[in-house]
């Protein structure tokens, strides 16, 4: 059977640039029509009110149309340049996407997977990003200098196996090599322009942000119609050629659908970029058949991938839940401090002078380098207190590699009973830990306060270097409370 020739990334990129010029032409015509109508309406209104017949002359109308043409070119050119130059950076910033931290085991695995799949796709400069969100989704972008990048959420890194991550990376790389990423980056960048303009015009207007989001979302949806929703089907097929694992990709798509894929209040604007629609929020095929739907139906994608592996879609779904059960059984059980044998190396037994860097603020012994849920932390081997970067907390709370003993769960239940279900007692937390301790990292006095307004677990926060000190079992209790809240 004859197979169509496969275009290179650079050929596809050139093709998409031609398509983007067509988009610019359509946008220019839209502005000419809109601005022309506005100018003519103002002209006729002034002529009628002040009885000036010359405003209705052919020469005057022609002059107004010429002026509207000049204005339209200027606005369209500026918007196109802004979307191409600043769109990708603005999208990544709004999604709180950052480059992986190599010391983090999960982030290091992402970097390795993107590099490996990039080489398989013939791309050697793909840049990975991590979106600080517990939901499951991914996207691909093209930066202004032509550098392709892939962004995955923390929830995806926490919940996916390596073969599923490889399949997702292959899917996003397919969007890049097909040129979809270039065009959709431009489309969403154009929508961002309207959103920023609306935000600036309605600054201080309560309730205006929702209308602004709706305007940019509708504009984006109209533009995204230039690319068929079948692009996801084509990207799935191309991903299988790279990863050789259609079942892993089917599992990944199913997980992203059944788990809440909502990513920020601007999800409508960026919906075409994501692997699954952020509007689904766990509902199968929500809006997929509507004219404005940006993705094909869930079960259609899973059925096509299952056929490639000669299995039933039900087998794919069954594998998802079997994998989840195996992960639960494989959890490393973390005991409470009372259950742990305390072993301290001789080098850690010596006391250090007060205020010295990397000393436990409770025991005054040197802290050790350690890892918790794949995140690099500082640990006191005597009291099991932990020093954690504030920026790392989202990663820790998104991951479920560690399980907890019944003793820890009992402690968490007791804390919930005494504090979370009795707000009056929250006021007593600061009194209980009123003595301020020095930050083990910078020496600045830490402040005792609740972890956040949802979980009133008392912790010590450094307002200078943004570290958090968790006393014995506090981090584990916080994680138990978060996981139980997600399960409810």
What's residue 174's pLDDT?
Answer: 92
What's residue 220's pLDDT?
Answer: 56
Q: Is beta strand 332-334 parallel, antiparallel or unpaired with respect to 402-404? A: parallel
What's residue 1's pLDDT?
Answer: 40
Return the structure tokens found at 403.
Answer: 């399980």
What's residue 351's pLDDT?
Answer: 52
| pLDDT tens readout for residues 55-78 | 778 788 888 888 888 888 888 788
Return the structure tokens found at 15.
Answer: 């093709």
CA distances, 350 to each of 130, 231, 366, 443 (Å): 40, 63, 8, 19
d(CA 253, CA 258): 9
**Selected residue with higher pLDDT from 173 and 258:** 173
pLDDT at 487 over 80: no
d(CA 426, CA 247): 49
What's residue 4's pLDDT?
Answer: 45
| pLDDT tens readout for residues 338-370 | 777 665 555 545 555 555 788 999 888 899 999
CA distances, 89 to each of 83, 134, 142, 269, 270 (Å): 10, 21, 10, 15, 13
CB–CB of 449/459 below 8 Å?
yes
- Sign of the dihedral through C-alpha 325, 329, 332, 338: positive
| pLDDT tens readout for residues 1-57 | 444 454 554 555 566 566 667 767 777 787 788 788 888 888 888 877 777 777 778
What's residue 354's pLDDT?
Answer: 55
- Mean pLDDT (whole number) for 378-407: 92
Q: How many CB atoms lie within 10 A of CB 140?
A: 26
What's residue 439's pLDDT?
Answer: 93
DSSP assignment letter at 420: I
Rg (CA), the chain: 28
- Mean pLDDT (whole number) for 204-209: 49
- Mean pLDDT (whole number) for 159-188: 88
Lowest mean pLDDT segment, chosen from 8-12, 398-402, 436-440 = 8-12
Q: How many CB atoms lie within 10 A of CB 297?
A: 15
With 0-12 / 13-18 / 19 or more C-beta atoms within 10 angstroms meaning exposed / middle / buried, residue 146 is exposed
The SS3 assignment for 371 reads strand
What's residue 229's pLDDT?
Answer: 67
With 0-12 / 13-18 / 19 or more C-beta atoms within 10 angstroms meaning exposed / middle / buried, residue 476 is buried
The SS3 assignment for 152 reads strand
Lowest mean pLDDT segment, chosen from 43-47, 420-424, 439-443, 456-460 = 420-424
What's residue 260's pLDDT?
Answer: 61
The SS3 assignment for 468 reads strand
Contacts of 38 (CB under 8 A, 6+ apart): 68
What's residue 12's pLDDT?
Answer: 55
pLDDT at 375 over 80: yes
To the nearest whole number, what is the mean pLDDT of the chain? 80
Lowest mean pLDDT segment, chosen from 111-115, 119-123, 210-214, 298-302 = 210-214
Return the structure tokens found at 281.
Answer: 């929020």
Contacts of 193 (CB under 8 A, 6+ apart): 79, 82, 83
* Proportion of the chain above pLDDT 70, given as a percent: 76
Angle (deg, nearest 10), helices 313-329 and 246-258: 80
**Selected residue with higher pLDDT from 252 and 65:** 252
pLDDT at 219 over 70: no
What's residue 2's pLDDT?
Answer: 45
- Mean pLDDT (whole number) for 312-335: 88
What's residue 60's pLDDT?
Answer: 80
- Mean pLDDT (whole number) for 165-191: 85
What's residue 167's pLDDT?
Answer: 97
**Selected residue with higher pLDDT from 189 and 101:** 101
Q: How many CB atoms lie within 10 A of CB 359?
A: 21
pLDDT at 227 over 80: no
CB–CB of 436/408 below 8 Å?
no
Please, which pLDDT band fits residue 337 given cuts at 50, 70 and 90?
Answer: confident
Hey, what domains does the chain have and what are their CATH numbers? 92-325 (3.30.2010.10), 332-487 (no CATH)
């Amino acid at each position: 059977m004859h197979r169509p020739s496969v275009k290179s990334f650079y050929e596809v990129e050139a093709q998409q640039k031609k398509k983007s010029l067509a988009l610019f032409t359509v946008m220019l015509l839209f502005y000419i029509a809109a601005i022309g109508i506005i100018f003519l309406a103002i002209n006729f209104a002034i002529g009628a009110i002040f009885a000036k017949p010359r405003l209705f002359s052919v020469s005057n109308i022609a002059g107004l149309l010429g002026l509207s043409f000049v204005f339209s070119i200027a606005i369209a050119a500026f918007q196109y340049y802004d979307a191409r130059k600043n769109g990708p950076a603005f999208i990544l910033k709004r999604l709180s996407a950052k480059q992986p931290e190599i010391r983090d085991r999960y982030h290091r695995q992402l970097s390795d997977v993107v590099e490996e799949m990039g080489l398989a796709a013939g791309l050697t400069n793909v840049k990975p990003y991590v979106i600080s969100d517990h939901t499951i989704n991914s996207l691909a972008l093209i930066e202004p200098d032509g550098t392709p990048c892939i962004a995955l959420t923390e929830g995806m890194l926490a919940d996916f196996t390596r073969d599923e991550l490889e399949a997702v990376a292959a899917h996003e790389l397919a969007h890049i090599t097909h040129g979809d990423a270039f065009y959709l980056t431009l489309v969403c960048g154009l929508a961002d322009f309207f959103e920023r303009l609306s935000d600036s015009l309605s600054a201080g207007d309560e309730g205006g942000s929702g209308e602004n989001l709706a305007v940019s979302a509708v504009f984006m949806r109209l533009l995204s119609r230039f690319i068929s929703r079948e692009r996801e089907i084509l990207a799935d097929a191309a991903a299988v050629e790279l990863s050789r694992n259609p079942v892993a990709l089917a599992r990944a798509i199913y997980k992203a659908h059944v788990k809440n894929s909502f990513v920020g209040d601007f999800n409508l604007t960026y919906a075409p970029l994501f692997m699954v629609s952020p509007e689904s929020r766990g509902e199968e095929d929500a809006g997929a058949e509507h004219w404005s739907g940006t993705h094909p139906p869930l079960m259609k994608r899973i059925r096509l991938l299952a056929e490639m592996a000669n299995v039933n879609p039900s087998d794919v779904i069954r594998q998802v839940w079997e994998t989840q059960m195996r992960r639960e059984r494989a959890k490393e059980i973390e005991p409470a401090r009372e259950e742990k044998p305390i072993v301290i190396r001789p080098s850690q037994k010596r006391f250090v002078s007060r205020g010295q860097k990397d000393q436990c603020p409770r025991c005054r012994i040197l802290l050790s380098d350690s890892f918790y849920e794949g995140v690099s932390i500082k640990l006191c081997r005597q009291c099991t207190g932990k020093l954690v970067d504030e920026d790392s907390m989202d990663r820790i709370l998104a991951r479920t590699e560690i399980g907890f003993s019944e003793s820890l769960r009992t402690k968490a239940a007791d804390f919930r009973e005494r504090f979370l279900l009795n707000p009056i007692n929250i006021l007593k937390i600061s009194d209980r830990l009123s003595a301020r301790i020095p930050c083990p990292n910078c020496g600045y006095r830490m402040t005792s306060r609740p972890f956040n307004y949802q979980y009133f677990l008392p912790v010590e926060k450094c307002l200078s270097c943004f570290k958090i000190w968790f006393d014995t079992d506090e981090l584990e209790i916080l994680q138990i409370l978060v996981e139980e809240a997600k399960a409810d």
